[in-house]
DNA sequence: TTACAAACCT
């Protein structure tokens, strides 16, 4: 425990802290008057039927979710599939895979009938954490959960294998799919094609494409987009445009993503106006531009230091009654932070929440890092608090940077808050980090007061 | 938070 003798005051402090900095209460739900909420048909029903699910969703960290689960079990609660699924989603999203395993064993023991979707989500999270073997094992174990395994989960696992470079295993699984009697669809082929193209293996990707045709699996717009994207990334815009005409001839309608890829390709070779023109061109061809297309333009402007113009593209979207999404706002926030304009970036966060768009992990990471990079650790702390409240957390480096910065500016309470949040997520500094932390904090610390605090922290963290 | 292409953060 950190500073156990002052835990009580610490919690008090956090309460006032949260109230002080909950500056963004503009969620649709919170803004809605109470009497109208009552009449809302789904929310009140769900709340009544599934208290555990709602509790779990509100849990701030995996530890809290798990404690809740055990409390419910002790009270004789028999979890059903939605309860297990909510818990597993929470734990997996926080990357607490030890807890995931524990809950899975519990699911197995209780013979709960499971849906395939939860396993697909777990594969995804295992894959993101590079725990590929865990995903494979779970795929093999799936049938023990009274779960029907279809090509959906095969595709999900295949994607994990390919994204992590396990091509041999991916090929094996591909063949196994046929042995299992699945009629593989275009998604499986698209996953393989994507993998080869990411490795720069155009020939291999084409082989898969040939096999696709041989097996009479119809290529989809995604298939073409993969190839078009590859050509665009490699500066071969002309060939990409040829492929566009090719797909149209074959009766495959390009979509907004097809054109977004071509727009990016244009920007890459310096033809910025061409990208803009392509927006009109696509509309002429009966394909309405979407937020993705506007996003490409914004990114291009941001890269070239034209932030104000990027901002006006965002407003152009609003004028056209398009709702900019989180990525559109993120593009702006990213470039503002890079120009050390964290305060302006914070304004954009405010604007997006007013516009009913929820910030994601990337939004918060950029902002916290933006404030800290500008030396404004109080500002960073303010965003960190909103970040944690919404269930996201920053990188370890950011945490470390914040602790040092807060200590330096004499904000011991803030530093403790950050350390405690880390502890809750089982994030800890490695010895080298501690050393760096101590060294950093002692620099320019004339009367040794900061060093004293750090020593205290080291001792309490190690305990 | 039912797989694949895609603009943002690692």
DSSP for A52-63, written as a single string: HHHHHHH-SSHH
- Smallest CA-to-CA distance from A87 within A155, A149, A73, A141 is with A73
Please tell me whether any atom of strand B lies within 7 Å of the Cβ of A89: yes
- The alpha carbon of A297 is separated from its chain's Cα centroid by a whole number of angstroms, namely 23
How many Å apart are A403 CA and B6 C1'? 37
How many Å apart are A439 CA and B9 C1'? 29
Q: Which residue has the tokens 């089982």?
A: A426
In window 4-43 of A, residues with CB < 7 A from nucleic chain B are: none
Helices A307-319 and A291-303 meet at what angle, rounded to 10? 170
Token representation of residue A161:
């294998």
Nucleotide whose C1' lies closest to the alpha carbon of residue A184: B3
Nearest residue (Cα to C1') for B10?
A395
Contact between residue A328 and residue A318 where contact means Cβ atoms under 8 Å apart: no
First to last CA, chain A: 7
Torsion of CA A403, A409, A413, A418, to 10 degrees: -20
**Domains observed in chain A:** 305-387 (1.25.40.10), 395-462 (no CATH)
* pLDDT, tens digit only, all 463 positions of chain A: 333 333 333 332 232 233 333 233 333 333 333 333 333 334 434 444 588 999 998 887 788 899 999 999 999 999 999 999 999 999 998 888 999 999 999 999 999 999 999 999 999 999 999 999 999 999 999 999 989 899 999 999 999 999 999 999 999 999 999 998 899 999 999 999 999 999 999 999 999 999 999 999 999 999 999 999 999 999 999 999 999 999 999 999 999 999 999 999 999 999 999 999 999 999 999 999 999 999 999 999 999 999 999 999 999 999 999 999 999 999 999 999 999 999 999 999 999 999 899 999 999 999 999 999 999 999 999 999 999 888 788 888 888 889 888 888 888 889 888 988 888 777 777 777 777 667 766 665 666 666 666 666 666 666 5
Contact between residue A425 and residue A461 where contact means Cβ atoms under 8 Å apart: no
pLDDT of residue A285: 93
Residues 6+ apart with CB under 8 A from A7: A1
Nucleotide whose C1' lies closest to the alpha carbon of residue A152: B3
Q: Which residue has the tokens 């048909």?
A: A41
Within 10 angstroms of residue A193's Cβ, the number of other Cβ atoms is: 26
Nucleotide whose C1' lies closest to the alpha carbon of residue A223: B5
How many Å apart are A27 CA and B10 C1'? 27
Token representation of residue A146:
């009274």
Please tell me whether any atom of strand B lies within 7 Å of the Cβ of A255: yes
């Amino acid at each position: 425990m950190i500073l156990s003798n002052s835990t009580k005051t610490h919690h008090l402090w956090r309460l006032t802290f949260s109230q002080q900095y909950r500056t963004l209460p503009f969620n649709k739900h919170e803004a809605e008057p109470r009497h109208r909420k009552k009449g809302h048909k789904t929310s009140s029903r769900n709340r009544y039927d599934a208290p555990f699910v709602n509790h779990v969703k509100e849990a701030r960290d995996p530890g809290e979710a798990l404690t809740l689960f055990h409390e419910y079990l002790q009270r004789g609660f028999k979890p059903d599939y939605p309860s297990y699924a909510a818990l597993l989603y929470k734990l997996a999203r926080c990357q607490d895979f030890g807890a995931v395993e524990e809950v899975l064993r519990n699911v197995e023991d209780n013979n709960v009938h499971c849906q395939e979707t939860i396993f697909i989500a777990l594969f995804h999270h295992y894959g993101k954490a590079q725990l590929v073997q865990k995903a494979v094992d779970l795929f093999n174990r799936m049938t023990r959960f009274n779960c029907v395994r279809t090509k959906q989960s095969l595709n999900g696992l295949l994607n994990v294998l390919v994204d992590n470079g396990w091509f041999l295993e991916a090929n094996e699984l591909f063949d196994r799919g046929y042995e299992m009697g699945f009629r593989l669809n275009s998604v499986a082929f698209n996953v393989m094609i994507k993998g080869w193209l990411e490795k720069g293996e155009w020939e291999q990707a084409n082989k898969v494409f040939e096999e696709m045709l041989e097996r009479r699996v119809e290529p989809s717009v995604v298939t073409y987009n993969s190839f078009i994207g590859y050509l665009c990334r490699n500066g071969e815009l002309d060939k990409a445009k040829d492929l566009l005409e090719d797909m149209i001839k074959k009766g495959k309608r390009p979509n907004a993503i097809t054109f977004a890829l071509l727009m990016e390709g244009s920007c890459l070779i310096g033809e910025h106006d061409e990208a803009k023109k392509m927006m009109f061109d696509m509309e002429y061809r009966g394909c309405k531009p979407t937020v993705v297309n506007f996003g490409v333009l914004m990114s291009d402007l941001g890269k070239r230091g034209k932030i104000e113009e990027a901002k006006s593209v965002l407003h152009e979207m609003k004028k056209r009654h398009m709702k900019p999404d989180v990525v559109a706002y993120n593009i702006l926030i990213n470039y503002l932070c890079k120009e050390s304009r964290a305060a302006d970036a914070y304004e954009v966060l405010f604007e997006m929440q007013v516009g009913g768009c929820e910030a994601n992990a990337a939004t918060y990471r950029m902002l916290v890092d933006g404030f800290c990079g500008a030396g404004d650790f109080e500002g960073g702390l303010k965003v960190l608090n909103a970040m944690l409240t919404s269930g996201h957390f920053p990188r370890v480096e950011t945490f470390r940077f914040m602790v040092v910065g807060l200590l330096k500016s004499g904000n011991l309470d803030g530093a403790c808050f950050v350390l405690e949040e880390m502890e809750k997520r089982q994030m800890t500094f490695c010895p080298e980090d501690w050393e760096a932390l101590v060294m950093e904090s002692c620099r320019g610390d004339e009367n040794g007061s900061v060093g004293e605090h750090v020593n205290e922290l080291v001792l309490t963290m190690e305990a």
